[in-house]
Amino acid sequence: MRVVVVGSGISGLSTALELINAGYHVAVVSADPIEVTTSFLAAAVWFPTAAAPVDRVNAWAATTFDYLEGLAVAGSPGVRMCESLALYRSDPPLPAWSQSVRGFRIARSDELPPGYGHGYRFSVPLVEMPVFLPWLRDRIVALGARWIRRTVQKLGDVADLRPDVVVNCAGLRAGELVGDSTLFPIRGQIVRVTNPGLALSVRDEAHPIGRAYVHPRANDCVLGGSLDVGNQDVTPDPELTQSIVERCCDLVPQLADSSVIETLVGLRPGRKEVRLELDTETTVGIPVVHNYGHGGSGVTIGYGCAREVVTAVGVL
């Protein structure tokens, strides 16, 4: 069978690789190089964010966790396990994701920054996307996939490639390709700063002036961030940059001596629920498997969704 995957973000590439591993002939169609995808900008620490339904997201996330952990153990480029700390100003309930992570425990008082009385410690995969995505692309090409640069206005535009099935992984444009008006942008702004020697990932999803996270990477730290539903302005906001740095310094005071490298903005593909289903009506004569609407959880659920796509293709 010939499968065309539309989209080259983390969802599209993960899906393409799994289809190749399952024995399908795959072509990846993308309007842009991977370096301009939202996935390339992502902070990319495993953590379910802005995606539903909860039961399916949790299952996809658990599958993806095991996969990324395996890549980290194998020394795959850009993937490592990262010690993490989630902070709370009041006594929190047990999070739904606690069963999926490694080493989950209540944080000790000496592990908490000033102003915080509660926290959880755990270990999760951290993916440096500028390293990992090129590696994933090169692996897909080396295994025989065709890579086609093309702007697609509707899914039927790939009919000349004679696919037996099309997989719609086009991110924010996925709905436009099939007339799904329920897809919406979720604007995310992050700040790259110099790393003052941090190794611990820290987050506070309920900081008083906005959600905050600090993710240390090999050569920088990613500070975030925003989840602005419906906002599609990709121009960095200097006031928001200042706010992000301020709130992240509350979490990690050592950041006060860091220098800002750059501010980046990406538009996540939001939807009330992730759309992952077989559709035999969208494109006449060509079955479609939709795989989009992952919100802020593309890296967290991408592989689990890819495995489900393979299952859906296999019933055709």
Report d(CA 14, CA 124) in Å as an integer: 19
Specify the pLDDT at position 282: 84
3-state helix/strand/coil string of the chain: CEEEEECCCHHHHHHHHHHHHCCCEEEEEECCCHHHCHHHHCCCECCCCCCCCHHHHHHHHHHHHHHHHHHHHHCCCCEEEEEEEEEECCCCCCCHHHHCCEEEEECCHHHCCCCCCEEEEEEEEEECHHHHHHHHHHHHHHCCCEEEECCCCCHHHHHHHCCCEEEECCHHHHHHHHCCCCCEEEEEEEEEECCCCCCCEEEECCCCCCCEEEEECCCCEEEECCCEECCCCCCCCHHHHHHHHHHHHHHCHHHHHCCEEEEEEEEEEECCCCEEEEEEEEECCEEEEEEECCCCCHHHHHHHHHHHHHHHHHCC
**For the domain that residue 240 is a member of, what is the CATH number?**
3.30.9.10
Backbone angles phi, psi at 25, to 5 degrees: -85, 120
Domain that holds residue 58: 2-314
pLDDT tens for the 316 residues of the chain, in order: 999 999 999 999 999 999 999 999 999 999 999 999 999 999 999 999 999 999 999 999 999 999 999 999 999 999 999 999 999 999 999 998 999 999 999 999 999 999 999 999 999 999 999 999 999 999 999 999 999 999 999 999 999 999 999 999 999 999 999 999 999 999 999 999 999 999 999 999 999 999 999 999 999 999 999 999 999 999 999 999 999 999 999 999 999 999 999 999 999 999 999 999 999 988 888 999 999 999 999 999 999 999 999 999 999 8
Q: How many domains does the chain have?
A: 1
Specify the pLDDT at position 284: 80
